[in-house]
Amino acid sequence: MITAVYPGSFDPITNGHLDIIKRSAKTFDKLIVAVLNNPNKTPMFDLEERVDLIRQSISDLNNVEIDCFSGLLIDYMQNKNVNVIIKGLRAISDFEYEFQMALMNRKLNKEIETLFMMTNSDYSYLSSSLVKEAFRFGGNIENLVPDIVIQKMKEKL
């Protein structure tokens, strides 16, 4: 049985994330979506809200678990006894950073593999930050994030 971890900030979850989650859930026996608790950042949604939005967006997937972590991803993976990291890759611009991070993670623990999944072309430009920016200035973000996210963002305004 192979379990993979899909880590991220998910502030908030987008349809691009959701696409990677669904495809990974089909590919692996189990997927853990691991939400980073980063005290150095001020997110739009706190940890509990981010987890809740993910939970509501993936209620139809029964082999996906949601969890939180802080500190190093590889330490979390080791504690969970999982050695596959799934990362979504959108464009060449993602590559350099992801490449660096994958190599750093491998340096820290050579047993853990990072696997990249190509984005669905519909979402290749999509990021949580752009969604938040568009929303703040009144842009239409329908079809870019789950409806529940739009609803919660409206409540935040």
Active-site annotation, residues: 17, 41, 90, 128
> Out of 7, 12, 88, 146, which residue is the one contacting ligand PNS (CB under 6 A)?
7
> C-beta of 9: minimal distance to ligand PNS in Å?
4
HSE (side-chain half, CA atoms, 13 Å) at 142: 1
Q: Which amino acid is at 105?
A: N
Contact string 9-48 vs ligand PNS (x = CB under 6 A) = x--------------------------x------------
Choose between 36 and 51: whose C-beta lies nearer to ligand PNS: 36
Q: Is 8 in the site for ligand PNS (CB under 6 A)?
A: yes
Task: Answer yes or no: are the C-beta atoms of 13 and 145 closer than 8 Å.
Answer: yes
Q: Which residues contact 14 (CB under 8 A, 6 or more apart)?
A: 123, 126, 127, 128, 131, 144, 145, 149
| Chain centroid to CA 152 | 18
> C-beta of 52: minimal distance to ligand PNS in Å?
17
The beta-carbon contacts of 94-102 under 8 Å, at least 24 apart in sequence, are: none
Chain positions 43 to 82 lying near ligand PNS, rule: CB under 6 A, are 72-73
Chain residues that interact with ligand PNS, rule: CB under 6 A: 7-9, 36, 72-73, 101, 104-105
